[in-house]
Structure 1
């Protein structure tokens, strides 16, 4: 009744509402498989009727709608007509069950931050977004994200020229085993693996170095792993991590949840000249010096590395010395609460 009374006088039903978050994740089991249900019909119509009553919205999240393609234009019309000029941040994950380019995203002219599933990004959509004043673009994969192809490197090259201030972030979250979709030559500033199944493989590191060595600022693994992980250095991620730090000179935030040796930790602190944040799990540290001595290391350096690696306290002291600040590894309880959020860089 209050909504209608306000609308009768030409006023928005909820003029003070600035943030709206709606997630429809509905799944059931049948015939031995998981059936994912999307919105549509009355549910979608209720969402649209609610949105058209909001005129000053700044932040909007509409996730897991999984609607039919024919329902997408009407949904965006309802959104753009009401708050197309005032919306600052928008998150729309898995709008449809199949890959579909969402060109209507460009109707929100004042977006600063956009989070979208990679299956909704095409060359046309990307170039339209490059014409906005967008600062942050998150390409997020979750258990409901379908398989899709990345945008071509030619399109990303145009985007870098059109929108030099745009920062793109790749993220995988939730209980999914999907590998992060590598966007070739994109201006990727961060890779966030927020799933217990993700592992840092040599193939992933090679892709990151090949495509993002000049732009990567964040590499973050969050959530505790489902398994303890391998103990031998030949099957751990130690060498891959060190290669990543050496080749990505702009990397300033590194969060590792996998097992590494104490000697690798010291080497990361030594090689990562620009690391302002280095976080590892105490339970993920193996007290061991399992690196062979290469010709580039002096006997004195290797002797000190070996000595500090075989004692936790000496290892921590050495990392503090190398980073020039107080430092300690995180407990699993601390690591579970961890949430790294990139800051917006205004140039």
Structure 2
């Protein structure tokens, strides 16, 4: 058995690291604008009056549950789908609108699909050079080999996709997408098919290559952690609409509503009423700065912002129904009288608390979010 065959029998996605293998060639990034985009499938709205701007060189993550319209919006940018109304502009040039529709190959856009969509009858090198038809054969081969070297697969140029693992196929798909040096790169859940052990390494290396190419990038994902790690900005979508657009810090710290807040963190939700003393809730009175007396609100407390403690100066409010050690944290489930749902807290081990104990509850103000009840969702 030769060394190459032996390597293929192992988990190469773990053994092989991309490392520094040259630099991907830079492109000229383009700005991308969605202007009042609406789209429907068989009369069912998939995107509704959505406007969004992506500056040149920015990595934008389209985030949301399955069916929220994020992939449809990406396909509209690519020219694979055509909107019902609105316009798409690339570098201030209208590429799709009421009177204009440029096909995908005329837009300077690169596509990387969720299933990688490699051609099974073509070698790895031929897959990578597929979009380099403007170059002569020798130049295209040189370009393709350089890209394969950059993603750590230069030894597999003459193999076929079926011989590669999932992580290696993802690298080939990335190399093929950036080969024509697109001004805008569109990626549809590019890491969803990878084992969790590989995902972090592949994501980090992909980001390095994206920065090297300097292309504007839209990445579709349903994973909030991935969006926060990858995106300069995040566009959170729901039912075809844009819920919130901003940096990961902005969306986490200042969500527009409970839906946005719950996308980035587990939450304890409580009803509250603003009184002269503050916001009255099942876990006590919280500060009511900025809220009018009599207002009904939804109070959200992140689990690590709910602070159980042995009763002392403060009376017991709840009882620990369950407590589990999970390594760096203890997970607590707490029952509170007058609140129909259990509350969840995360604490460092060594608190001295245990299941069955009565506890007082404090909150960390930076982990408390308050929304008007009628606009919470």
Q: What TM-score, normalized by structure 1, do the two folds share?
A: 0.30
Higher helix share: 1
Bigger RCO (CA 8 Å, 6+ sep):
2
**Which structure features the higher share of strand residues?**
2
Larger Rg: 2
TM-score by length of 2: 0.28
